[in-house]
Amino acid sequence: MKAIYILCVRQLKRYVRSPARIIGSLGQPILFLVALGFGLRSMFARAGGGDYINFLSPGIISMAILFNAVFSGIEIIWDRQFGFLKETLVAPVSRLEIVLGRMLGGAIVALLQGIVVFVICLIAGFRIQNSPYLLLAVVFMFLIALLFAGIGTVFGSVLQDMQGFPLIINFLIMPLFFFSGAIFSANGLPEVLRILLRLNPLSYGVDGLRGACIAVFAYGLKTDLAIGAALTGILLALGSYFFSRIQL
């Protein structure tokens, strides 16, 4: 447990000591929030969908979390190249504790970034309509963070090329984001796209977060929690497995 705590604190210190990283990671969510939220707001309202800022904001918060969480995996490649990973792995602690500490630290950092974007969305006009479920919103944010920290750990453990990591991750993450219901509703979509949304693990995190904030669920609270928790557990297990097979 001590190793998990130390690695979590190390991740948090890296985050706090890097204002450029904090500010830089806000650029894309703010761009999407302003360009899409205000650009399509009137059109969404005329179509009878209500306030688009309220619909879009949970998706933008999810975007901030997933990108920060999944890119925590690149630190494994970084530490491997500069020797810190070898020092960590020869320490008298299990690899399971090491990987859990890394993933938990990455997830906490991503959650903090998501909370920052949450506040920005409130400033932009996002309004909570389901206040009693606000704590549940944080739970879904943390599930998204853990899920994608697990994905980042899988790729960070398998890949050794620091330049290749962002290319592969962007190739994977962007479709997951766009086909998650984050920026458009599943209502009226062709059946093929509806199936893709159902198969997308992020869809349940976005839907749960949106439902907790504005009381609009596409799949239902129990479904979102059950599938989100199950997929998060699977990805954490996969991340632990691939990390345990790292050869230095």
- HSE-CB of 127 using CA atoms within 13 angstroms: 5
pLDDT of 244: 77
Structure tokens at 134: 């606000």
**Strand ranges (DSSP E) for 75-201?**
none
Distance of CA 246 to the CA centre of its chain: 24
Q: What is the pLDDT of residues 23-47, one digit of tens each?
A: 777 888 889 898 888 888 887 777 6
- Reported as a pLDDT band with limits 50, 70 and 90, residue 158 is confident
Residue 205 pLDDT more than 90? yes
Task: Put residue 206 in one of left, alpha, beta given phi > 0 → left and psi -120 to 50 → alpha.
Answer: alpha
Whether the CB-CB separation of 74 and 155 falls below 8 Å is answered with: no
Check the CA dihedral 234-238-244-248 and report its sign.
negative
Confidence of residue 16 (pLDDT cuts 50, 70, 90): low
Q: Is the pLDDT of residue 152 over 80?
A: yes
**Taking all residues of the chain, what is their mean pLDDT, rounded to a whole number?**
84
Is pTM beyond 0.85? Reply is yes
